[in-house]
């Protein structure tokens, strides 16, 4: 199968976890992929791992100049974008009583403001008939202690999908979200100061998930491929839940 043959894709956060798996899958399916993130070492490692039809651009989704630089480069090198996966995300779990201004601003700055301008700045380049995939989370519609800021950002992402589907329909651009459940990526480790703590988070999600395990990043990449390709040509404004049944029961 080569569902993205000849397509140009952008994946923010494409150097780790879900974004990395998606970049690998998209290149295997024939796309040229731009990956974007802050850490140069991770970007370089990912580009070397993928090896072909990949370009790494260092930058922060919170910085408009970085986004402009990303898209200026793509305009010059490729002329346009067929698929945008807005995947970069940040979490620092804090109870409501402990939530700091810094936590609130960084979480909303990355997951909401950063995602909004990632998409807005790409619009002139996205081809009519293109696909935008936003990475939300089942946290958007679950009550999970310590996820005050994070869950609210992901609910905002779900809302963006509806508004942007309406705004972009005349260009045939399909906008959809994916809501992953617990997926085994570095973002789980980032939620605890110790390995034991991170393993406890994995164990609690595993226990709550009907399929009795956390998910693999490749399983989200498969959903992203579906929403990015013509296989989902009649899917718009949707939120595809990929969570092993966690939010269903």
Please give the residue ranges that form the binding site for ligand NAP (CB under 6 A). Answer: 12-13, 15-19, 37-39, 42, 60-62, 87-90, 110, 114, 135, 137, 180, 182-183, 185-188
If the CB atoms of residues 185 and 229 are measured against ligand NAP, the closer one turns out to be 185
Residues in the chain: 249
Separation CA 219–CA 235 (nearest Å): 19
What's the min distance (Å) between Cβ of 97 and ligand NAP? 23
Angle, in degrees to the nearest 10, between helices 115-122 and 148-168: 20
Q: 127 or 141, CB closer to ligand NAP?
A: 141
CA–CA separation, 199 vs 47, rounded Å? 29
Q: Which residues are catalytic?
A: 150
**Closer CB to ligand NAP, residue 197 or residue 230?**
197
Q: Which phi-psi region, left, alpha or beta, contains residue 245 (left: φ > 0; alpha: ψ -120 to 50)?
A: left
Q: How far is the CB of 42 from ligand NAP (least distance, A)?
A: 5
How far apart are CB 109 and ligand NAP at their closest, in Å? Answer: 8
Other C-beta atoms closer than 10 Å to the C-beta of 98 total 10
- Which residue, 88 or 176, has its beta carbon nearer to ligand NAP? 88
Start-to-end CA distance of the chain, whole Å, equals 34
CB of 119 to ligand NAP, least distance (A): 14
The tokens describing 142, both together, are 């679950």
């Amino acid at each position: 199968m080569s569902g993205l043959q000849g397509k140009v894709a952008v994946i923010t956060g494409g150097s780790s976890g879900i974004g990395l798996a998606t970049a690998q899958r998209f290149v295997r399916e024939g796309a040229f992929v731009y990956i974007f993130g802050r850490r140069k070492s991770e970007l370089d490692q990912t580009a070397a791992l993928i090896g072909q039809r990949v370009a790494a651009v260092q930058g922060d989704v919170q910085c408009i100049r970085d986004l402009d630089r990303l898209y200026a480069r793509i305009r010059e090198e490729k002329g346009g974008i067929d698929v945008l996966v807005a995947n970069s995300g940040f979490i620092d779990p804090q109870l409501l009583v402990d939530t700091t201004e810094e936590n609130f601003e960084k979480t909303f700055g990355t997951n909401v403001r950063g995602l909004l301008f990632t998409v807005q700045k790409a619009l002139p380049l996205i081809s009519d008939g293109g696909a935008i995939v936003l990475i939300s989370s089942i946290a958007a519609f679950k009550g999970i202690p310590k996820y005050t800021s994070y869950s609210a950002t992901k609910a905002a992402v779900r809302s963006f999908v509806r508004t942007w589907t309406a705004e972009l329909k005349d260009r045939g651009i399909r906008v959809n979200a994916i809501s992953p459940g617990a997926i085994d990526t570095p973002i789980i480790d980032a939620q605890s100061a110790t390995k034991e703590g991170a393993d406890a988070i994995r164990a609690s999600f595993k226990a709550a998930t009907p399929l009795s395990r956390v998910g693999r990043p490749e399983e989200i990449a498969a959903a992203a491929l579906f929403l990015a390709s013509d296989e989902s040509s009649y899917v718009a404004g949707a939120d595809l839940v990929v969570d092993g049944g966690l939010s269903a029961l």
